[in-house]
Amino acid sequence: MNLISSCDYLDEGEDVKNLLMYIQAFGCQMSVRDSESLRALAEDYGFTETNCLDDADLILLTTCCVRESAERKILGRIGELKALKQNNPDLLIVVCGCMVQQPEAVITYRKKAPHVDLWTGTFDYDLFADLLERAMRGEKVVQVSPECRLRTEFAPNAQNGKLKASVSVMYGCDNYCAYCIVPYVRGRERSRDPEDVLAQVEALAAGGCRDLTLLGQNVNSYGIKDGFHVDFADLLEQVDAVAGLERIWFVTSHPKDLSDKLIDVMARCPHVCEHLHLPLQAGSDRVLRAMNRGYTTAEYEERVRALRRVVPGVTVSSDIIVGFPGETEDDFQRTLDVVERVGYTQAFTFMFSKRSGTRGAELPDQIPLDVKKERLARLMELQNAKSLAWRQSFVGRDVEVLVEGTSKNNPGRLMGRTRGNDIVVFPVPALPVPVGELVQVHVEKARSWTLIGRLCD
């Protein structure tokens, strides 16, 4: 890299150069959240965001390793950056996050991608500003601590002024589901002080946020391990009282910890949306036991019934894995049966992916890829049909939509969501509708994942 230009910038009193950064986050909402905080730290070094990869002076990737396919995609992306670095040796490439946090992983990656300037895992984000500065001075930096020190947010809030924002209420996970690498790359579960969460939510709402998501790997266990006097249901109720918020969501709820108290709070709080992401993972009790999920399908379905009894019109979405080691055709059929009975409005479906260091990777009876593919196709076919039937039930009806902006696929359309988390698109009306407005849309057509309509008169 060009040491002179970076050091020039770092010298106080020099003219600040207009440095551009391109940021890409892979994986879950926590990874997106991290990338926003890292962006704020990089902004202190004079970088501003660009959407154009070719213009960037800094490329910052926050990575995911929850499945092999995610990791492969990211490694492909890092490989593509080699040519950019060759054409522009000044370019700074930073790769951080879950993928880097895996033990020993960086040893392999560094050999494959010597063009990366800074590698750091999730446990070292508090050092990010220093690490970036060292990389800007021309050092090749690798920082992957085996233990996590972080208990609080590692950067100032970077989402002010946005319509939609997310706030982490807790980090890490102690559940050790047999397939999952998250506890290893995000550390032990720890909850943020409720006062800190509330202060952040208040600041966001004051800055214009109307649509807020509370984040945690298992929000239902918020505060318990840390002995707080406030549990997640209490926290949600307090967040609901913050002035200015229109809609509140939370992910992820673990079925084993979904309390009646939380269900009551969902029903009682006017801004908490009628939607719950409640991952099933598998529909066979034998497989759920092997996954270490801590509930049976009967218990899961009882929780959904309790939720529907108390929160009228609530929608439920799910994550489902096919081909966990030892899953038989009969086990898989049970997954289809639960999907049929519960009626999810949306489900994220995955083939089991071996993650090194997890129990699932060591289990016998790994399922061949062709069987996993075939099961995934059948599951998706069923879920797509269920999703379509659900959305078709809206055709001819009016729905309330919070306008989020222009549709990604069609600039002539606006998009927003219902309180049940259904995406709605409609033509941009003659009189423009501001982002953040609540509008009524008359639904004319339905696709599996989207409602299409027009603004009501």
Question: Which stretches of the chain bind ligand SF4, using CB under 6 A?
Answer: 173, 175-177, 180, 182-183, 217-218, 254
Closer Cβ to ligand SAH, 64 or 116, answer by number? 64
Q: How far is CA 220 from CA 175, 214, 419, in A?
A: 12, 11, 21
Residue 101 lies near ligand SAH (rule: CB under 6 A): no
Residue 291 lies near ligand SAH (rule: CB under 6 A): no
Q: What one-character-per-residue DSSP string does 345-383 give?
A: SEEEEEE----TTSHHHH-S-PPPHHHHHHHHHHHHHHH
Joined together, the tokens standing for residue 253 give 């709820």
Q: Which of ligand SF4, ligand SAH, none interacts with 355 (beta carbon under 5 to 8 A by kind)?
A: ligand SAH
Instruction: Quote the least distance from Cβ 228 to ligand SAH, whole Å.
Output: 20
Instruction: Quote the least distance from Cβ 30 to ligand SF4, whole Å.
Output: 10
Instruction: Quote the least distance from Cβ 184 to ligand SF4, whole Å.
Output: 9
Determine the Cα–Cα distance for residues 17 and 9; give it in Å rounded to an integer: 7
Residue 350 lies near ligand SAH (rule: CB under 6 A): yes
Contact 179, 321 (CB under 8 A): yes
Closer Cβ to ligand SF4, 178 or 314, answer by number? 178
Determine the Cα–Cα distance for residues 351 and 365; give it in Å rounded to an integer: 15
Closer Cβ to ligand SAH, 94 or 321, answer by number? 321
User: How many residues contact ligand SAH, by CB under 6 A?
Assistant: 17
Helix, strand or coil, per DSSP, at residue 278? coil
Closer Cβ to ligand SAH, 180 or 242, answer by number? 180
Determine the Cα–Cα distance for residues 83 and 67; give it in Å rounded to an integer: 27
Closer Cβ to ligand SF4, 112 or 188, answer by number? 188
Q: Which of the stretches 266-274, 297-305, 307-315, 352-360 binds ligand SAH when contact is defined by CB under 6 A?
A: 352-360
Contact 167, 197 (CB under 8 A): yes
Q: How far is CA 55 from CA 70, 84, 92, in A?
A: 26, 10, 12
Contact 379, 349 (CB under 8 A): yes
Considering only residues 38 to 77 of the shown chain, the ones binding ligand SAH according to CB under 6 A are 66-67
Residues 6+ apart with CB under 8 A from 32: 25, 62, 166
Of residues 246, 248, 245, the one with CA closest to residue 266: 248
Residue 279 lies near ligand SAH (rule: CB under 6 A): yes
Residue 217 lies near ligand SAH (rule: CB under 6 A): yes
Residue 352 lies near ligand SAH (rule: CB under 6 A): yes
Residue 409: CB atoms within 10 A of its CB come to 9
Instruction: Quote the least distance from Cβ 176 to ligand SF4, whole Å.
Output: 6
Considering only residues 168 to 207 of the shown chain, the ones binding ligand SAH according to CB under 6 A are 179-180, 182
Helix, strand or coil, per DSSP, at residue 108? helix
Residues 6+ apart with CB under 8 A from 170: 189, 190, 191, 192, 216, 217, 218, 219, 221, 222, 223
Closer Cβ to ligand SAH, 67 or 386, answer by number? 67
Q: Which of ligand SAH, ligand SF4, none interacts with 219 (beta carbon under 5 to 8 A by kind)?
A: none
Closer Cβ to ligand SF4, 176 or 449, answer by number? 176
Q: What is the dihedral of CA 218, 221, 223, 228, to 10 degrees?
A: 170
Residue 325 lies near ligand SAH (rule: CB under 6 A): no
Instruction: Quote the least distance from Cβ 33 to ligand SAH, whole Å.
Output: 14
Residue 222 lies near ligand SAH (rule: CB under 6 A): no
Binding residue (CB under 6 A) for ligand SAH from 234, 319, 400, 437? 319
Joined together, the tokens standing for residue 85 give 């670095």
Joined together, the tokens standing for residue 227 give 């002995």
Residue 290 lies near ligand SAH (rule: CB under 6 A): no
Residue 380 lies near ligand SAH (rule: CB under 6 A): no
Residue type, 196: D
Binding residue (CB under 6 A) for ligand SAH from 281, 284, 346, 407? 281
Instruction: Quote the least distance from Cβ 360 to ligand SF4, whole Å.
Output: 11
Q: How far is CA 236 from CA 250, 253, 278, in A?
A: 9, 13, 17
Determine the Cα–Cα distance for residues 168 and 29; give it in Å rounded to an integer: 10
Instruction: Quote the least distance from Cβ 111 to ligand SAH, whole Å.
Output: 25
Closer Cβ to ligand SF4, 319 or 437, answer by number? 319
Instruction: Quote the least distance from Cβ 262 to ligand SF4, whole Å.
Output: 16
Residue 143 lies near ligand SAH (rule: CB under 6 A): no
Binding residues for ligand SAH, rule: CB under 6 A, are 66-67, 179-180, 182, 217-218, 252, 254, 279, 281, 319, 321, 350, 352-353, 355
